[in-house]
Amino acid sequence: MSLAVVILAAGKGTRLNSEKYKVFHEIGNFPMLYHIVNTAKQLNPKRIIIVISQAMKGHEKEIKRKFPDLKFCIQKRQLGTANALDSAKKYFKNEVKKVLVLYGDTPLIKLVTLRKLENKLKNKSDMCILTMKPKEPKQYGRVVLNTNQKVEKIIEFTEASTDEKKNNLCNSGIMIFKSFELLRYINQISNNNSKKEYFLTDIVEIFKKNKKVIDYLICEYEETLGVNDRDDLLEVETNFQKVKVKEFLSRGITILDRKSVYFSYDTKIGKDSVIYPNVYFGKEVAIGKNVKIKSFTHLEGTIIKNNCEIGPFARIRPDSTIYDSVRIGNFVEIKKSEIKNNAKIPHLSYIGDSTVGSETNIGAGTITCNYDGIRKNKTKIGKHCFIGSNTSLIAPLSIGDNAIIGAGSVIKKNVSKSVIIYGKPKIVRKNKKN
């Protein structure tokens, strides 16, 4: 049966006290909305529809750059969840047999859970509600079952009796419908309530009156966590990090402190790597096998290949590639550079817009002076070189293979291979070892 996914994302999130719309707040360095879209796409639906507010229309192009196949619909007035879903029906009233309703501020829902939910409609059900059993049900709506263990009703906490409040089977808000049944009854939902809004949960009563079968599925509470304020945002981020830690541990990666390491949504780490405490993984970081990332290291947009040792207190910035068996030590910053096999930059150096050849050793305090005040310039250091401590390499610059640069040198012109350079002004002589 073909599937349409409708993601409700029109809420501004005023309790976040932010200029940014709620669904664009990030979990694991990735907007919440994008998390849920990525998960939905793995269901291979006929289409995915995002319901946004009129005020969010300016963000449509931004979202489409990431997900060009999405459909958008504007909820002109925010009159409740049923109203939001009704505004999207033009995209699922034809050629679609099932409609799954998700929320843009609930980014932790698992693919396996959604697949189970979808499969429920194969069991002669017309609708299925995703439920959970939190340790503290708080003010969640309660899902009441009949003697056949099907859904009888959803009752809001404020309207529940004392006995009904003892029931800890709670509504997550996520639902799936047979589309023709949804289309038949959604317009029967009224706004006869204190908020004068059209609530999707009211469709349960309408389905029951028409003898439709309503099933339910229980999932882990953490999957259904939504974001309304900054405290919720922190809780969702914390749970996201827990999931990432478990994922990496199961893949053969050692993490020495699960609470102090921060992973992005797209972090990749190879088997037998060791992650020390207080490490930050920004976006687009890929780590190979048997790599040690030591404490207080900050990584962004970089590839680190096999058998490397990075840190402590290292920073590797975007567009950098660290090849096999490289040692990057404490207080070293790498930016937009390639560090080739077996090279060593042990401490207190800045390497920017550069290539460092294999087996080359960079002494403490060495910097590549890559910016002349107008443009960034490149430095190329060959193989088997030694760069002495406190050396300034003024780009654009090329240093040949097997060259030795003495400590404290300032290098402004290209250096031939197999020479020794030292002093200010420089003294040049042949490297007799080569």
Rounded-to-integer distance, Cα 146 and Cα 91, Å: 34
Instruction: Given the residues 25, 35, 59, 347, select the one marked as catalytic.
Output: 347
Q: Residues 6 or more apart from 362 whose CB is under 8 A from it?
A: 343, 344, 345, 346, 349, 351, 356, 381, 387
Rounded-to-integer distance, Cα 7 and Cα 102, Å: 5
Parallel, antiparallel or unpaired: strands 298-299 and 280-281: parallel
35 is catalytic: no
On whether the CB atoms of residues 216 and 233 are closer than 8 A, the answer is: no
The closest alpha carbon to 169, from 126, 117, 224, belongs to 224
CA-to-CA separations, 306 to 180, 248, 287, 310, 325, in angstroms, rounded: 54, 17, 8, 11, 6
Q: What is the CA radius of gyration of the chain?
A: 29
- 393 three-state secondary structure: strand
The closest alpha carbon to 197, from 50, 82, 53, belongs to 82
Rounded-to-integer distance, Cα 381 and Cα 386, Å: 10
Q: Which residues are marked as active site?
A: 347
